[in-house]
Amino acid sequence: MDFAMYQVLRNIFYFFGGNAGIDSPRFHNGAFQYHRSGGNDGIALYYATVHHNGAHADQYIVMNSTTMHDGIVTDRNIISDLGRVLLIGAMDAGAILYIHGIAHPDIMYVAADHCVEPDAAVGTHDNIANDSCIGGDKTILAELRTLAKHRKNSCHKYANFVFRMSSNNSRKRKKMSGISHRQVFLQHMAQTSAAPIGIEMVKASGIHLFDASGKQYVDLISGFSVANIGHSHPRVVKAVQLQAAEYMHLIVYGEFIEAPQTAYAKMLCDHLPPSLNCVYFTNSGTEATEGAMKLAKRVTGRTKILAFNKAYHGSTQGALSLMGDEYWRNAFRPLLPGIAHADYNDPAAIDHIDEETACVILETVQAESGITKPSAEWLRTIREKCDAAGALLILDEIQAGFGRTGSLWAFEQSGIEPDILLLGKALGGGMPLGAFIADKKRMNALSHDPVLGHITTFGGHPVSCAAGLAAFEVLLDEKLIDGVRSKEKILTDTLHHPAILSLQHYGLWASLQFDTVQRCQQTVHRCIQNGLITDWFIFAPDRLRIAPPLIIAEEEIKECCQIILRSINEAG
């Protein structure tokens, strides 16, 4: 370890170190040491190389602390997941192994529990689990590189413990040119913000995600409304494998007849109103928006479009022009002309619709404003004004579709039908897929004058269509939509806290409002530390997002609600 590395680690420990009474970390005899004043042996981080039964240990960090004379662990090495992630990144390590100086039988107890230290299992674990430090955070090593030198009479016990856990639970992380996945992520992948969540995930199954250290999370946002039937459903995985074995990409969209596309298009149309009988598959929701805008202009011969404030339809050039907030649009001007914005759910919006309007585009439920549900009367008024003016109504159900609101399509609950429907996210069952759907006579306008009026190379990729079809079948066969209302009621009955100003919800989809953006962000971070993946909203950063997979059990929702409430308290 060089002095530069020491400085990095020192800063991390300053911010995320344990109890008051901790002395400054120091670099001594080639080791990074972190001493607790008043303790027995303090805490030390060492480097060494270990071989055990012919297995080479590759990449890890050991934290060693001791017990007090009363047998209660008082050290809290690194309090938060953020500190853990920073330390792992700085050391280029797979995970951190937390070892405290307790009796050998207790270590065997942990080993018998598959590396998971149960919350409040025994006295020596209580404050570790409750304080969410390294031990309670269940971060047993994924790979090993070095082993700490411990007290002479304990070294062999810890070594055996370490290697047994590694052989049962490790997941090898292949390195690229000597640098870690995290370094590559930060250096060679374009970033969308200055502070990504930054957790390296290695597996997903059902409602759960698993990081490189083995920690399990509940995906409380379904990968942003993608994993409606959960992650890696066996029927979807099988469909992907079978289709990939037959063929993947063959030609640009719309030339060859490909069974995965035709089968999925037919099934979608069978579950939509008769006027929505022709599907154009795209790669994503934002591309579906682009295609729908072109179709509306082509069919009507008009150019004016009405969109809504706080709307989100994607972030490509045309979709960005529709986005309902100047903060997000301004940096990329000039954008498309002829687009007006009105307030969502405002009766005055109909005044913008006239004989020059090509289309009105709106979300059936406005997602990024924090799950804003419009009145059915307002939607019907918009529909009637579009009919009177000869404008097309485009409904965006990219997030709201596929059962999220308690019905297959959210527009079914308002008694209206769109001229063009936008789908995405859950449409692909976890694979990239979008679509805009309209009447065949209208869709034919894209086939002539000019020919190839809208084309895409990978839109409707056969593997994505196979996955989407399988996921749609699971949604219907397992009757997942039937449980949405009862699960929604658990949210509304349970999520009460003085810090929650309001709860907006529609089906298994909700947002919690806090008094400040900072309070919301702190709660989001605590939720992630406590094993819940959540986030905020683009136009409502003071709101916490809830949109779990529809397969989540009622007891699991109750547990998630309790974690949210606890996280609010911990956020302060």
Q: Which residues pair with 65 in a beta bridge?
A: 100
282 and 332 assigned to the same domain: yes
CA–CA dist 526, 82 (Å, integer): 10
Instruction: Look up residue 61 and give its two tokens.
Output: 């960090």
Q: What is the mean pLDDT of residues 482-495?
A: 98
Strands 31-34 and 43-45: antiparallel
Where is the domain boundary, 430, 449, 477? 477
Apex 427 CA angle, 423 and 430, nearest 5: 140
57 and 36 assigned to the same domain: yes
Confidence bin at 126 (pLDDT 50/70/90): very low
* pLDDT of 476 higher than 50: yes
Asked if the structure places residue 161 within a domain, the reply is yes
Where is the domain boundary, 477, 493, 513? 477
Asked if the structure places residue 97 within a domain, the reply is yes
Residue 110's pLDDT is: 27
Q: What is the mean pLDDT of residues 114-121?
A: 31
Instruction: Look up residue 365 and give its two tokens.
Output: 């439920």
498 and 538 assigned to the same domain: yes
CA–CA dist 299, 278 (Å, integer): 15
Asked if the structure places residue 550 within a domain, the reply is yes
Asked if the structure places residue 378 within a domain, the reply is yes
> Over the stretch 278-308, which tens digit does the pLDDT of each residue have?
999 999 999 999 999 999 999 999 999 999 9
Q: Which residue has the higher pLDDT, 3 or 471?
A: 471
Q: What is residue 219's three-state secondary structure?
A: strand
Instruction: Report the 10 Å Cβ neighbour count for 249.
Output: 11
Mean pLDDT of the chain, nearest integer: 77
Q: What is residue 113's three-state secondary structure?
A: coil
Instruction: Report the 10 Å Cβ neighbour count for 545.
Output: 25
Residue 176's pLDDT is: 54
pTM: 0.72
346 CA to centre of own chain: 31
Strands 357-363 and 392-396: parallel
453 and 541 assigned to the same domain: no
392 and 449 assigned to the same domain: yes
427 and 453 assigned to the same domain: yes
464 and 342 assigned to the same domain: yes
CA–CA dist 180, 549 (Å, integer): 31
Asked if the structure places residue 359 within a domain, the reply is yes
- Cβ-contact 124, 72 below 8 angstroms: yes
CA–CA dist 553, 486 (Å, integer): 10
Residue 120's pLDDT is: 30
- Cβ-contact 223, 535 below 8 angstroms: no
Asked if the structure places residue 243 within a domain, the reply is no
Q: Which domain holds residue 380?
A: 264-477
Q: Which residue has the higher pLDDT, 479 or 166?
A: 479
60 and 106 assigned to the same domain: yes
**CA-CA-CA-CA torsion for 99, 105, 110, 114, nearest 10 degrees?**
130
* CATH number of the structural domain spanning residue 416: 3.40.640.10
100 and 210 assigned to the same domain: no
Q: What is the CA radius of gyration of the chain?
A: 27
Q: Which of 240, 238, 204, 202 is nearest to 221 (CA)?
A: 204
Instruction: Look up residue 416 and give its two tokens.
Output: 């209206």
Where is the domain boundary, 442, 477, 512? 477
How many domains does the chain contain in total?
Answer: 3
- Cβ-contact 411, 364 below 8 angstroms: yes
* pLDDT of 43 higher than 60: no
Instruction: Look up residue 84 and give its two tokens.
Output: 């853990």
Q: What is the mean pLDDT of residues 403-409?
A: 98
124 and 149 assigned to the same domain: yes
Residue 187's pLDDT is: 83
- Cβ-contact 296, 392 below 8 angstroms: yes
Confidence bin at 89 (pLDDT 50/70/90): low
CA–CA dist 213, 208 (Å, integer): 14
Residue 183's pLDDT is: 81
| Helix ranges, 456-553 (H) | 462-477, 484-494, 517-529
Asked if the structure places residue 186 within a domain, the reply is no
* Exposed / middle / buried, residue 378 (Cβ in 10 Å: 0-12, 13-18, 19+): middle
202 and 275 assigned to the same domain: no
Asked if the structure places residue 176 within a domain, the reply is no
* CATH number of the structural domain spanning residue 217: 3.90.1150.10
CA–CA dist 161, 182 (Å, integer): 27
CA–CA dist 362, 391 (Å, integer): 13
CB crowding 263-290: b at 16 or more within 10 Å, else e: ebbebbbeebbebbbbbbbbbbbbbbbb
Q: What is residue 187's three-state secondary structure?
A: helix
309 and 341 assigned to the same domain: yes
Q: What is the 3-state secondary structure (H, E, C) of 230-298?
A: CECCHHHHHHHHHHHHHCCCCCCCCCCCCHHHHHHHHHHHHCCCCCCCEEEEECCHHHHHHHHHHHHHH
Residues of the chain above pLDDT 90, percent: 65
